[in-house]
Amino acid sequence: MWGETVTLNGAGATFPYPMYSKWFSEYNKLHSDIQFNYQSIGSGGGIRQVLAGTVDFGATDGPMTDEQLGQAKSKILHIPTVLGADVPAYNIPGVSEELKFTPEVLANIFLGKITSWNDAAIAKANPGVNLPNQPVIVIHRSDGSGTTYIWTDYLSKVSPDWKNQVGKGTSVKWPVGLGGKGNEGVAGMIRQMQGSIGYVELIYAVQNHIAYGSVKNAGGEFVKASLASVTAAAASVKTMPADFRVSITNAPGKDAYPIASFTWLLIPTPSKDAAKGKMIADFLNWMVEDGQKMTADLSYAPLPESVAAKVKETIKQVK
């Protein structure tokens, strides 16, 4: 009816939540008759709710598997929105320097093989840093998480031990550590626990004033997550698959940050409500144009222009 507010319900990833929250609020200023109700519950929950048909859209940082797509009642489009980075965030009293992490060290910390901060492997990558003889406390996600998918997808590429013993997924059987709910929960635990290390999306480390390290990339350089290094990782994609389900972890090139990812909105089409389908399509077109200009303020990287052009074509399928 004229004058009524329509609510678009979504659920999923916490990784892009600060960006989505900003977009939804800005879009509502332009279209006061459209409100977004987004539950930041983790990618696993977002995928489950999309499959159950209880939301108008979902959000994930780990693309749906062929098996999951096979369970869907309708076609589900993966619409890339922004790029972000998982960072190794830590709380080590007395260490003010930015630590450098090799792939092997990160894998071995999360495998429980490195248990003290003054381990020789950490010291080797960080000459001159006075590392304390303090136990390492590993923090991981307790909920189904695309942030976990990105982290474990990366570790599976760089560590045969990790690939064989743990593997990749939105939830995995962790060899060691304590679980936190959402990027918010993991960031909170790292802040509270001395000697801890966990993985969070870059903005959660920045906003919570948590130290995070640089990671040695496939080109042999130690690179810190930034707009430029995440954009360099995205540029490594030479051919984008038609459904946009692509991994850019451990990207080649000396400038690329190795634990970066696209994040996706999951759009069932046709929508159960044609009017809502049109509203979602209009929002997506705004997101690809105006929304991209807001990404840098929150430390996310915008879609490469070639990807944005393909996304615009795909949005035509949203009904």
- The 10s digit of each residue's pLDDT in 252-280 is 999 999 999 999 999 999 999 999 999 99
- Residues 285 and 315: their CA atoms lie apart, in Å, by 7
Res 1: pLDDT: 47
Asked if 64 and 170 sit in the same domain, the reply is no
Q: Is residue 178 part of a domain?
A: yes
Q: Is residue 251 part of a domain?
A: no
3-state class of 317 per DSSP?
Answer: coil
Q: Is residue 11 part of a domain?
A: yes
pLDDT mean over 206-212 = 97
Give how many domains the chain has, as a whole number: 2
3-state class of 221 per DSSP?
Answer: coil
Asked if 157 and 115 sit in the same domain, the reply is yes
Task: Give me the sign of the Cα torsion angle 173, 176, 178, 184.
Answer: negative
pLDDT score of 3 more than 90 = no
Res 29: pLDDT: 98
Return the CATH number at 202: 3.40.190.10
Asked if 11 and 64 sit in the same domain, the reply is yes
Res 112: pLDDT: 99
pLDDT score of 143 more than 70 = yes
Asked if 114 and 139 sit in the same domain, the reply is yes
Q: Is residue 255 part of a domain?
A: no
Res 232: pLDDT: 97
Asked if 109 and 188 sit in the same domain, the reply is yes
Asked if 89 and 211 sit in the same domain, the reply is yes
- Of 218, 234, 250, which residue is a domain's last? 234
Q: Is residue 254 part of a domain?
A: no
Q: Is residue 241 part of a domain?
A: no
As beta bridge partners, residue 212 has 89
- Of 234, 251, 285, which residue is a domain's last? 234
pLDDT score of 233 more than 80 = yes
Domain of residue 54 covers 6-83+262-315
pLDDT score of 237 more than 70 = yes
Asked if 151 and 17 sit in the same domain, the reply is no
Asked if 182 and 221 sit in the same domain, the reply is yes
The tokens describing 283, both together, are 């929002």
Residue 60 in contact with residue 266, Cβ under 8 Å? yes
- Residues 23 and 284: their CA atoms lie apart, in Å, by 10
Asked if 31 and 94 sit in the same domain, the reply is no
- Residues 213 and 98: their CA atoms lie apart, in Å, by 5
Query: Residue 79's closest CA among 141, 148, 13, 151?
Result: 13
> At a CB cut-off of 8 Å and minimum separation 6, what does 316 contact?
281
Asked if 269 and 305 sit in the same domain, the reply is yes
Q: Is residue 140 part of a domain?
A: yes
Query: How many other C-beta atoms can be found within 10 angstroms of the C-beta atom of residue 37?
Result: 12
Res 2: pLDDT: 56
Asked if 79 and 135 sit in the same domain, the reply is no
pLDDT score of 312 more than 90 = yes
Q: For 168-204, what is each residue's pLDDT tens digit?
A: 999 999 999 999 999 999 999 999 999 999 999 999 9
Res 201: pLDDT: 98
Asked if 108 and 212 sit in the same domain, the reply is yes
Res 244: pLDDT: 98
pLDDT tier at 314, thresholds 50, 70, 90: very high
- Residues 39 and 64: their CA atoms lie apart, in Å, by 18
Q: Is residue 1 part of a domain?
A: no
